[in-house]
Amino acid sequence: MQLPRSCDTFVVLPPLTKNNVIIFGKNSDRPQNEVQEVVLSKERVRNSKLKCTYITIDESPKELNSVILSKPAWMWGAEMGANDKNVVIGNEAVWTSNNEGDGDARQKRLLGMDLVRLGLERGNTAEEALDVIASLLEKYGQGGPCSEHDDSHIYHNSFLIADCKEAWVLETSGKLWAAEKISSGYRNISNGLTIGTKIDKHSEGLLESAIAKGVWDGKGKFDFRNAFSSGGDEIRQKAGESLLKESTEAGPFNVQDMFNILRHKESGICRSCDDTFPTQGSQVSSLSTNTMSVHWFTATPDPSVSYFKPFVFTPNAQVSSLTESPKEPKREHNLYKLHDQHVVRANNDKVSNSLREMEQGCLSEIEYFIQKYEQSEKTIDELDNLMKKCVEAEVKLYG
């Protein structure tokens, strides 16, 4: 199994956040030149069976949630996303010691990205989404190439799942899993197992399986990480944790603070387009029970030179077709191509500064709408085309 590379997911909870919201953030670091699209899926046609990236599974008998996804254009699943019930999920590659039989990630089963999308479509809370992912993992297993052009890029997965009230970390090894509930403070995951002895939910027979596999002697308190970890990027994990600590100590944590963490180059959390594994897309979500939740997506690589564009679920929400990939070998959507030409290759500071000004304008606009919403002036329909307009403004900037 190839050692996973890159990716980071973060969450900050009250009382550390501004306005007591939960703030989620993720960088999706993927193979070079792999295009990540941002798409909205609602009222998807349901049949008795559902074709995921590699395998066909039973479709949900229940109504599906609307979801916005940041996803590699070639696969069915998604690296990260949100649903209209205020649930967000991001996944990470992890390397574990359980690589035979049900743990053989070379076998085409459900990808971790498929599980992200399935959790969002079927889960109405963070814990419910966790239960969806866990049950599907136990039934179908996980595995298959996670790159369109590299069959050696295979791994198990960990997930950070949040809603307006709490967050969960779900870590897996084959069909085995453990989950930790996060009720306050902050948490981050990278490319290694992090759950130790604090296990709030787990797969049936986990401890017995650990003993049978020879990864635990049955003595003392069971530690999931010690039993199943086969390495990971502890340096980046610690760097992300330090950034969260610094940012939360500086004052109430807000959306801009999460933008800044995802743009941090020295830690390796943000990776440039010339990296072998660049940051291909980024998401930040502000989740609130009292006001509206807002989801921010770049839809372009390298957040340090990209513009986070806001999306709000409304009854008639739209996203731009300019972030949807065509079905062709390179799969470059229009925004990706223009950003590559005018920002990445041109290295134009003037354009980059204009993008940052547009982002600041969006932050101010969202704050204004939230204030109106809090004052019971229910104007959320005005935000139907919010992200669409932001994408179109970016395209117009590029000329």
Confidence of residue 394 (pLDDT cuts 50, 70, 90): very high
Q: What's the average model confidence in pLDDT over 18-38?
A: 95
pTM metric for this prediction: 0.97
Give the pLDDT score at 377.
Answer: 54
pLDDT at 4 over 50: no
Strands 56-58 and 67-72: unpaired
pLDDT at 261 over 80: yes
Q: What is the pLDDT of residues 152-199, one digit of tens each?
A: 999 999 999 999 999 999 999 999 999 999 999 999 999 999 999 999
Query: Is 7 annotated in the active site?
Result: yes
> What are the domain boundaries of the chain?
8-315
The DSSP annotation for 24-51 comes to EEEEEE-STT--EEEEEE-S----SEEE
First to last CA, the chain: 45
Give the pLDDT score at 378.
Answer: 59
Q: What's the average model confidence in pLDDT over 232-255?
A: 94
Structure tokens at 207: 């401890």
Rounded CA-CA distance 338/358 in Å is 16
CB atoms near residue 295 (< 10 Å): 26
Q: Out of 7, 270, 273, 390, which one is annotated catalytic?
A: 7
Rounded CA-CA distance 202/286 in Å is 28
Give the pLDDT score at 2.
Answer: 45
Give the pLDDT score at 231.
Answer: 83
**Across the chain, what does the average pLDDT equal?**
94
Q: What's the average model confidence in pLDDT over 10-15?
A: 98
CA distances, 92 to each of 40, 124, 172, 238 (Å)? 22, 22, 10, 15
Give the pLDDT score at 342.
Answer: 95
Give the pLDDT score at 374.
Answer: 66
Confidence of residue 312 (pLDDT cuts 50, 70, 90): very high
Give the pLDDT score at 349.
Answer: 85
Give the pLDDT score at 86.
Answer: 98
Q: Could you tell me which CATH number the domain at 8-315 has?
A: 3.60.60.10
pLDDT at 233 over 90: no
**Of all helices (H) and strands (E), which one includes residue 228?**
helix 224-228
Give the pLDDT score at 375.
Answer: 63
- The phi, psi pair for 160, rounded to 5°, reads -115, 120
